[in-house]
Amino acid sequence: ITLSNIILTIGQLKKYFVTHQGIVKAVDGISFFIEKGETFGLVGESGSGKSTVAYMIAGMYRPTEGKIIYRREDISRESKNRPHTLKKEIQIVFQDPGTSLNPTRSIKQILELPLKVHNISKNHKDCIDKIKELLEMVQLPVDYMYKYPSMVGGGEKQMVAIARALATNPSLVLLDEPTSALDVSVQAKLINMLIQFQKKFKLSYLFITHDLSLMRNVASRVGIMYLGKLCEIAPSSEFFKNPLHPYTQMLLSSIPVISRR
């Protein structure tokens, strides 16, 4: 591994929230890196802090302490006022597309916004052509651009959310439980699509999930979060054969095994 091949480095990252009950250590000193073109899986149960990590990388939360290094530049202090180039290169797909897509905007308006904000489309015709291209890419009919989010299913909403994320030609995509709200058949389609996009556009993924079994065929390396800390990181090939941490062993033992009788 060389420094030039690493797109993101997280160093001793912390996020503490002050509540009526005291200080909640949502993320408590975690470190990892993501290589260019890699999928790094971040796995943990609800409340483990994994989504908070994504929100800090995306600039939605400012870290309490620690560093977020993107392409050798420390972006940990840049949250709300990030430059457009950074917002363009780092995109996030949320768990629930029903809340992440503006219900008062058509799919056309949702997809044209990043194209206009980042000056990707030259004119109106170019913008429409790019929207058609994005919809075709996620296997949705072109005339869906005239629909509103409430008029399409959950899986189709998530396809629109992915199309929106890819509209800016990003380098790093943060996938925050992108399949958890979907039917199993739609999950498989979406995962296959994400793998194809990664190869085609040379994307790096931070894939956040509570479903450890999903990571076996998706992630090259896996990190396990528990109560705000990273308790184990390993290549997927080793991880599923020889888990070291007791919490990881417990997670693996809870994965259903189909008996062959």
Is residue 177 within 8 Å of 202, Cβ to Cβ? no
Beta strand 65-70 with 73-74: parallel, antiparallel or unpaired? antiparallel
Q: Is 198 left (phi over 0), alpha (psi -120 to 50) or beta?
A: alpha
Residues 234, 249 contacting (CB under 8 angstroms): no
pLDDT given for residue 256 in this prediction:
64
Once rounded to an integer, what is the mean pLDDT over residues 85-101? Answer: 91
Residue 28: phi and psi, rounded to 5, are -130, 70
Digit-coded pLDDT (tens) for 175-210: 999 988 788 888 889 999 999 999 999 999 999 998
Q: 222: how many CB neighbours lie within 10 A of its CB?
A: 26
Radius of gyration of the chain (CA): 19
Tens of pLDDT, residues 118-162? 999 889 999 999 999 999 999 999 999 999 999 999 899 999 999
For CA atoms 33, 82, 59, 170, the dihedral sign is negative
Separation CA 99–CA 54 (nearest Å) = 17
pTM of the model: 0.92
| CB count in 10 Å sphere of residue 241 | 9
Nearest alpha-carbon partner for 51 in 210, 258, 203: 210
Phi, psi of 74 (to 5 degrees): -75, 115
Domain locations in the chain? 6-254
Residue 258 reports pLDDT greater than 60: no
pLDDT in tens, 40-85: 999 998 889 999 999 999 999 999 999 999 998 999 886 667 777 8
Cα dihedral across residues 192, 195, 200, 205: positive or negative: positive
Label residue 254 by pLDDT band (50, 70, 90).
confident
Report whether pLDDT(98) > 50: yes
Report which of residues 258 and 64 the model is more confident about.
Answer: 64
> Which CATH number does the domain 6-254 belong to among 3.40.50.300, 3.10.310.10, 3.10.20.90, 1.20.120.160?
3.40.50.300
Interaxial angle between packed helices 107-117 and 154-166, expressed in degrees from 0 to 180 and rounded to the nearest 10: 20
